[in-house]
Structures are given as C-alpha cells and as structure tokens.
Amino acid sequence: MHLGLFLLGTGSHVAGWRYPGAVDSFQDMAALRRIAETAERGRFDMIFMGDNLYADPAAHPSYTLRLEPLTMLSALAASTTHIGLGATVATTYSDPFTVARAFASLDHISGGRAAWNAVTGASPAAAPNFGKLHPNHAERYAIAREFLQVVKGLWDCWADDAVVADRATGLYIDPARVRALDHEGPHFKVKGPVNIGRSPQGQPVVLQAGGSEPGHALAAATADVVFSVVQDFDEARAQYSSLKARLPALGRRPEDVTVLPGVMPVVGRTDREAYEKLAVLQGFVDGDNARQLLSDRFGVDMSGYDLDGPIPDIPLPDTYHSFASVMLNKAKREGMTLRDIYNLTAAARGHWVLCGSAERVADTLEQWFTNGAADGFNVMPPWFHEGFDDFVDLVVPLLQKRGLFRQEYAGTTLRENLGLPRPQRG
Amino acid sequence: MHLGLFLLGTGSHVAGWRYPGAVDSFQDMAALRRIAETAERGRFDMIFMGDNLYADPAAHPSYTLRLEPLTMLSALAASTTHIGLGATVATTYSDPFTVARAFASLDHISGGRAAWNAVTGASPAAAPNFGKLHPNHAERYAIAREFLQVVKGLWDCWADDAVVADRATGLYIDPARVRALDHEGPHFKVKGPVNIGRSPQGQPVVLQAGGSEPGHALAAATADVVFSVVQDFDEARAQYSSLKARLPALGRRPEDVTVLPGVMPVVGRTDREAYEKLAVLQGFVDGDNARQLLSDRFGVDMSGYDLDGPIPDIPLPDTYHSFASVMLNKAKREGMTLRDIYNLTAAARGHWVLCGSAERVADTLEQWFTNGAADGFNVMPPWFHEGFDDFVDLVVPLLQKRGLFRQEYAGTTLRENLGLPRPQRG
C-alpha cells in the first residue's frame, strides 16, 4: 500500500483551521516542517501539494493563500531524507523549459524525490493573472499532452554520464552525450537541451489527478501516480479497473501506474470519539462558506438555488468536469439535496470522508486495497497537527502490523519507494 | 561594508573546478550547503546565484549546467538562518505573476531573506527554448521596467494584516485588506491579487546587474542592490558616482541603493602564495576554452581573429552590452591584445581580479570602500571550497578588526542587514 499526504493550507476540511489547537500552515514553514517530519515518521511515500493560480479573498483561504509549491517543497527537501515531494504546476500557465528544469533541480536537491503533479488548471480565474484567455477543456488537454511530451524529452537530453569533469584533460561535459530536443508542435517550440544534468530518478515521477475522460486518457498514457476523486467503493473500483484496463494498449503494465483515491480520515480511539471530532468540524460550517466553495467547484454562481429542493439541472461550463460531476452523480444517485452536497463539500471539498476508530479506518482501507479499488491512498487530513497525527500514530501501525504497509523505506528515491523502475533514457 | 557571495557552479574562474581539491558544486547540494554555511559564518549579507536559460554543451559548464536558482536557494533557506538569498530570474522569459509569488514564497520560507536579481537575459540562445524571438536591447528593458512595476504591485496587494484567522467568527482573510492590481500595460495584463500574503520584508530585495545605459537607468529607478562589473578603481568610482547621482531626481536617497562591484579575490597568506595559486589556475586556461567564453560574452564568433594583433573593430550585436564594452574599453585603453583579453576573461569572466596577501586584499577593498567606489563587494571565489574559505578565514577578520564589516548580523531579514527600511505598502 502506498500513502500520499495531501498538504493543503490548514487541512482539507473547509473549517479545519478553526479546530481547537489547529495550526495555521498556509505560510508557516515551522508548521510545514513538522508536518513533513510526521509524514516521514509515518513512512508516507510522498507529500503532495496542490496549487491554484488566483486569489479570491472572499472565497475560502484554501483557494487563495499558499506558499508556492516548488519553493516550499525545495525547502522541505532539506529537512527530510526519504519522503517524496510532489508539486503541482499547471501546464496552461507555465512553459515546458521552466518546468523541466525546476523539477530536475528539485530531483537533484532532494536526492531523487521529486514528483510533478501536472494539471491543466480548471479555473478560468487564473487567466487574467497571465493576460490570457482560458483555453477550453479539450484545448487544455491538448496543450497538457504536448507539454508533458516536451518536459519528458528535456529530462532525457543529458545522458547519465554526460558530466565527465575530467581534471586531467579539462573536459567537463562530453558534448556527445548531450543532445538537443528540437521539438516543434502545435503549441510549443523548444530547442533544448535543458541546462541541468539528468536527475537522480532519471525522470521525476509524474502525478495526475484529472477526472474527465481526456484526463483519464492522459493519465493512462503519461502518469506514474494517479490521484482520484471518489465517494464510495464501487465507484473507486470501477475507476481503478477502467484506468488499469487502458494500460496494455499503451504498452504499459498495470503496476506502472499507482492509483491513490483521496480520503479525508477522521480518526478517533473509538468510533464515538471520531464522530465527535467530525461534529466539531461540521459545527463550523455555515451555508455561506460552503456555498462559496460549491460555486468555485462548479464554476457557476450557486447563490440563487433552493438549498432544500431536489438537485436542479446545473449548466456546468465545459471548463469544469471531475469534481462537479462526481458530486452531482452521487447526489442524484442518493436523492440528496443541495444542502447535503454543501455539507459533503464542506467536509472534504468533494473527497471521500472516512470517519471512525483507527480499527475501522484501517479495515476500510484494507478492504479497498485488497479488493481492487486502490493501490493506496492520498490522505487528506482535516486539520493539522492532531488530525494528521491521529492517522500516523493510530492507523499506520495497524496497517504495518497487518503487513499492508512498509515499516521502513525500501530506498531513498521516490521511484524506489513506489516500486517504479528508473526510466532508461529514451 | 556589505558582502555578497556570487555562487557560480564550481567557482568564477573558468578552470576553477580543476584546482587540486576543488569541489564540483554545480549540482551537489552537500557542497552548496557547505558553501552557504561558510558564507554565513563570514557574516556575508547574501548569496547570489546567476542564471542562464540555455545549455551549450561545447561551451564552458558555467553557461550550461546549474541547479535552478529558486529551488536551490529555497533548499539553502532551510539550512541557514541569517544570510540573504538572491536568485536570478530573467524578465524576458518568465511572467510577473509567477515571479511575484515565487519570491514572496521564498521570503516567507526564509523569514525575510529573499532577493530577486532581475535581469533581461542577454543571450539570444535562450529564445529557442521558449519558442520566442529574442527581443532587442531596448525592448528587453521596456519589458523589464513594466515587469518590475507589476511584480512590485503584486507584492503590495495584501496588507500586512490581511490574514485575520479569527477562530471565533470564522473570518480567515479580511477581503477589505486585499486588493486587485488591474495592471494593463503594453507588455502585460495582470489582474491580481497574488495568491500569497505580504511577505516578511514587505517586498523582497531587488538586485540588478545591467551595465548598459538603460540598465543603469532601470537600476536607479527600481533596484535596492546593484552588482557592477568593473576593472579598476577609477572606473568603479565613476560608475558609483554616476549611479548615486541619478537617485535624487527619482526621489531616492544615495543610501537606498547598495553598489557592489564584482571582485574575484585570489588570497594567500603572502602575496607570493596568492600569485602561485593564480598561476595554477591560469595554467589550466587554453586558447580554446577562453575563446569560447569570449565568443559567448561578445555574441560574435571570435575564432577567426588574430590573437596577438591589436584589438580589431568587433561588431557587437545590439543584444550585448555591458561585459563586452567593459572589456574592450579596458583593452583599448591599456594596449592589450585579444590574447590578453582571453586571459582576463578566463580568470574571472570579465570581472576584477584582486590577487595578493590577505592584508593586501583587505587594504584594497578598504581603499575602494572609503573612497567612494563601492558600498561593498560581490565576492566571486575562483573555486570552492579553499578559494572561498581563504577569503572568509583570512580577509573577513581583517575587515572586522578595522571596523569596516559586521561581527554579527544586525537583524534576521536581508533588508535589516543591508540597512534598508521595510517598504510601506504602496
């Protein structure tokens, strides 16, 4: 079983920061270092940081405030030794040369622990910060596919042994072992080579989280790890099978892609204690903040809809897909109201909430893992530190005792710990 | 007196990496951490990392291989406590929203030690890596000026007290204390606000190194620290006076801009020992590697010119200015040959070389500092570690004993140590 830590501001619950004793980890490196050390103590595969490219001060802070992922994870590289470091960078608002060298650099800095979460960037609110128009969904995925191809090509420009550094002859770089890329495609022209040597992992790990059909197709073709958004076991297993089934036709084996559904665990020593914690969190939720979140998730102003009637037909813009459709499908299936979705969204912003005693949480994770719904989990603590410490101190030891999760890291690179081979230079 | 450390790969001498015992610090974090710790032990104001956006494997490695500055300095932020961290990012090949948030993030991560060396990027070799044409010199400076205006505006979007985090009311961000930027200029449209709170320094420090007239004008208008390229005292004093004289008309005081000429010190316990070290270094220089460097510096293929004749009229492209003209002026003034320039370039890539006993080096730095040629120096060690350790262990104590240089840091932010005020929000 593989475990990622989703590191979002003050935790993944919309009001996690209000929990008694919660730390404010949006911009506080001391708190972030403590979280990273806890994750490494819990033998997590990686820390993973989401991103957003705009600020709406009236919206929830998790959409508005954060350290920039690459700088933040580079700093955490210095205070950790084994845990992987996954940073989100959107392909719609960056360029492949910059992204390729930044992740190669993080990979060198961390001794082979870098991962890139390649997202297209769902929100059109980013566009005006870059003087651009937000491309539509299909165009964003076409850009992302070419972007990934260029970045992977740049990572392979240098042979592992291109840096000779021969003091006697004065040859530092062997030019014969470095090549240009000379990419010319519909969206990018990139000559290369990149100005950094091939990194410890050969290629940093690629993460993806897209939930739409183009997102699944891109993940199957290019990702090493997939974060999925699911609400229940059947949905998780269906998504898992569907993704794994795509791989052989693409020349990949099922074990080449690690699928980690997101889960917000609320853990107690007993079920009752866990539910009391969840009740404290939910007590902080009001219609306003949940409605803001839902408007953001749907890309539609939700303030005019009746909270307690049946789910209306909501005209989702084409730029929005996975979160919104997962939530709406679940709501229609289960006869929920908009207020129910509000509450669900507030709890974990659309992700699966797993509340109960450590035994119950471990049982459920084991059931998903052993029955073809997950290769592990992207753990989204509702708040820090207690909300994560509970998982590491109470649940992880059970998973270890059952032989489901490592006691010690298998290696020092993220690929080694994920069981992925180091890629040959293409 | 203020001191910066110029951290370039294996040192600033073209063949520094071949010096017996030299470390290879291009991509080696352990070596880089050791260098940063030495600089902090020597009470340096800051570490400063240059950049380049292309790789030519046949050229000198200092143009071809390096860790990406923002990630590298973020990692060094975690292993240091007081020293400033200056990263180069070119305004021609990035965007202001990304740059503003990355440096604000580094400023948060480091507790107020971030500095941005804003360069336009002289080399046209970068352009094909970004699918662009290289703008001409005037256009690059017009872009840079607007870029700086946008970045500074984004840094001021958030009031210092915009993050309220009031657990009782649930108000995390006070929207009234965050504003958009709504910039629309000839080169950039940026709405803002940026998605990170105002950073410990209010605004990260801005460094500049442009040597042309537009470069000096931009520095006078926007920079906190200027790195200059000079060859002798008279030239340094003239540049210093000229820059300081521009400030009053721009509403700035002379002390608002710290001028640090670059110097490559080769230090021994005696003059003789120092010259022996320099001889070892120069012994590694051959016509080929120096000629490559010179071609790169001039933007002109220099392989056809007679090495030992008088300096020819070299048609410098408009994209190249400061280094080339400094070197050519000096050469014509002093009746040098191209071979002499080769040797000079090889030693310190166009910068001032100061070779001698620790006493002599300290005397010379004192003379420049006390006679209006410098507010301090950008120290460019010829190699690491010995070539830098010598300066910290032998020269710094002399400067301290003479009351010219701090014994302890004055504060924890770079602005505090530079004696610069924390900017009011504009």
Residues (pLDDT < 70) of chain B are 287-291, 293, 317-323, 343-350
Chain B residues with CB inside 8 Å of A195's CB? 52-55, 64-66
Per-residue pLDDT at A344: 66
Average pLDDT over residues A91-116: 98
Domain membership flag for residue A305: no
Q: What is the ipTM of this complex?
A: 0.92
In a domain, A375, yes or no: yes
Contact A55 B284 (CB under 8 A): no
What does the alpha-carbon distance between residue B254 and residue B226 come to, in Å, rounded to a whole number?
Answer: 12
Q: Give the distance from residue A160's alpha carbon to the nearest chain B alpha carbon, in angstroms.
A: 13
Query: What pLDDT shows up at residue A177?
Result: 96
Mark yes or no for CB contact B65/A196 under 8 Å: yes
Q: Which residue of chain B has the CA closest to A114? A: B71
Establish whether the linkage from the previous residue to B385 is cis, with ω within 30° of 0: yes
CA distance A19 to chain B (A): 8
Taking CB atoms and an 8 Å limit, are A191 and B128 in contact across chains?
A: yes
B183 CB neighbours in chain A (<8 A) are none
Whether residue A26 has pLDDT greater than 90: no
State the burial class of residue A403 (Cβ atoms within 10 Å of its Cβ: 0-12, 13-18, 19+).
exposed
Of B195, B376, B317, give the one whose Cα is nearest residue A69: B195
Euclidean distance between CA atoms B289 and B259, whole angstroms: 31
Q: ∠ CA(B231), CA(B305), CA(B298), 5° rounding?
A: 45
Query: With an 8 Å Cβ cutoff, are A94 and B97 in contact?
Result: no
Q: Decide: residue A282, CB within 10 A, 0-12 exposed, 13-18 middle, 19+ buried.
A: middle
Q: Using the predicted structure, report yes or no on whether residue A386 has a pLDDT greater than 70.
A: yes
The DSSP bridge pattern shows strands B376-379 and B2-6 to be parallel
Question: What are the C-alpha distances in Å from A147 to residues A159, A362, A366?
Answer: 21, 39, 37
> Which of A82-96, A271-285, A362-376, B42-56 is the least confident region?
A271-285
- Of the given ranges (A78-92, A202-216, A329-343), which has the lowest mean pLDDT? A329-343
Reduced to 3 states, what is the DSSP secondary structure of residue B266? strand
Residue A374 falls inside a structural domain? yes
Residue of chain A whose Cα is closest to the Cα of B102: A68
The residue of chain B nearest to residue A185, with distances taken between CA atoms, is: B131
CB-CB under 8 Å, A95 with B98:
no
For the beta carbon of residue A11, count every other beta carbon within 10 angstroms. Answer: 29
Burial state string for B329-348 with b = 16 or more CB within 10 A and e = fewer than 16: ebbeeeebebebbbebbbbb
Q: Which of A162-166, A325-329, B236-240, B249-253 has the lowest mean pLDDT?
A: A325-329
The answer to whether the Cα torsion of A28, A33, A39, A45 is positive or negative is positive
What is the full DSSP assignment across A17-60? GGSTT----SS-HHHHHHHHHHHHHTT-SEEEE---S---TTS-
Across the interface, whether the CB atoms of B15 and A162 are under 8 A apart is answered no
Residue B426 to chain A, least CA–CA distance (Å) = 19
Most A-contacting residue of B93, B94, B129 (CB-CB within 10 A), to test interface: B129
- According to the model, what pLDDT value does residue B329 have? 76
**Torsional sign, CA A2, A49, A216, A184:** negative
pLDDT at res. B207 = 97
3-state secondary structure of B4: strand
> Looking at residue A123, what is its pLDDT?
84
What is the predicted pLDDT for the residue at A71? 98
* Burial class of residue B66 (count of CB atoms within 10 Å of its CB; 0-12, 13-18, 19+): buried
Question: H or E element: which one contains B90?
Answer: strand B84-90
Q: Which residue of A has its CA nearest to B166?
A: A18
**pLDDT greater at residue A148 or residue A347:** A148
Q: Report the C-alpha gap between A220 and B193 in whole angstroms.
A: 36
pLDDT at A261 over 70: yes
CATH number for the domain spanning A188: value is 3.20.20.30
**In the predicted structure, residue A40 carries a pLDDT above the cut 90:** yes
Determine, yes or no, domain membership for A326. no
Q: What are phi and psi of A416, to 5 degrees?
A: -60, -40
- Indicate whether A319 pLDDT > 60: no
Q: What angle do CA B352, B357, B361 make, to 5 degrees?
A: 40
**Residue from B10, B34, B62, B71 to probe the interface with A (highest A Cβ count within 10 Å):** B71
Query: A-chain residues within 8 Å CB-CB of B284?
Result: 170
Sign of CA dihedral B3, B8, B9, B11: negative
Tell me A335's DSSP state. Answer: T
Name which of B253, B248, B228, B250 is nearest B238 in CA terms: B228
> What pLDDT, on the 0 to 100 scale, is given for residue B344?
66
User: Which of A61, A109, A172 comes nearest B172 by C-beta?
Assistant: A61
Residues on chain A touching B94 (C-beta within 8 angstroms): 98
Q: State the binding site of A for FMN.
A: 51, 88, 137, 141, 212
Is residue B51 annotated as involved in ligand binding?
Answer: yes
Taking a C-beta distance cutoff of 8 angstroms, is the pair A25, A384 a contact?
yes
> Nearest CB to A57: which of B101, B178, B284?
B178
Taking residue A364's Cβ as centre, other Cβ atoms within 10 Å add up to: 16
| Higher pLDDT among residues A332 and A400, named by residue | A400
CA distance B385 to B148: 35
Q: Give the count of beta carbons closer than 10 Å to the beta carbon of residue B63.
A: 23
Closest listed residue to residue B81, CA positions, set B419, B408, B423, B422? B408
Interchain contact, B17 vs A174, CB within 8 Å: no
Cα A110 → chain centroid? 19
Cβ separation B75–A79 shorter than 8 A: no
Nearest to A75 among B60, B93, B109 (CB): B109
Q: Is residue B167 part of a domain?
A: yes
CB pair distance less than 8 Å for A195 and B64: yes
pLDDT of A300-310, one tens digit each? 887 777 777 77
Tell me whether residue B141 is annotated as binding: yes
Chain B interface test: which of A129, A143, A164, A182 (most B C-beta within 10 Å): A129
Q: What is the pLDDT of residue B421?
A: 93
Token pair for A211: 């939930």
Q: Is residue A127 part of a domain?
A: yes
- The model's confidence at residue A285, banded by pLDDT at 50, 70 and 90, is confident
Inside any domain, residue B401: yes
CB contact under 8 A, B188 and A131: yes
Interchain proximity B109–A72, CB inside 8 Å: yes
Six-digit token pair at A13? 């619950």
Q: Cβ distance A267 to A395 under 8 Å?
A: yes
Say how far apart CA A288 and CA A284 lie, in whole Å.
11
pLDDT at A105: 98
pLDDT-above-90 percentage for chain A: 70
Beta partners for A48? A6, A86
> Residue A67 and residue B109: Cβ atoms within 8 Å?
yes
Cα separation, A335 vs A348, in Å, equals 20
Say how many domains are in chain B: 1
Cβ neighbors of A166 (< 8 A, separation 6 or more) are: A172
Note down the domain range covering B131. 2-267+352-418
Average pLDDT over chain A, rounded to an integer: 91
CB contact under 8 Å between A74 and B75, yes or no, is yes
Q: What is the pLDDT of residues A412-422, one digit of tens each?
A: 999 999 999 99
Residue of A nearest to B29 (CA): A109
**pLDDT tens per residue, range A190-203:** 999 999 999 999 99
pLDDT band at residue A339 under the 50/70/90 scheme: confident
In a domain, B195, yes or no: yes
Residue A350 is predicted with a pLDDT of: 65
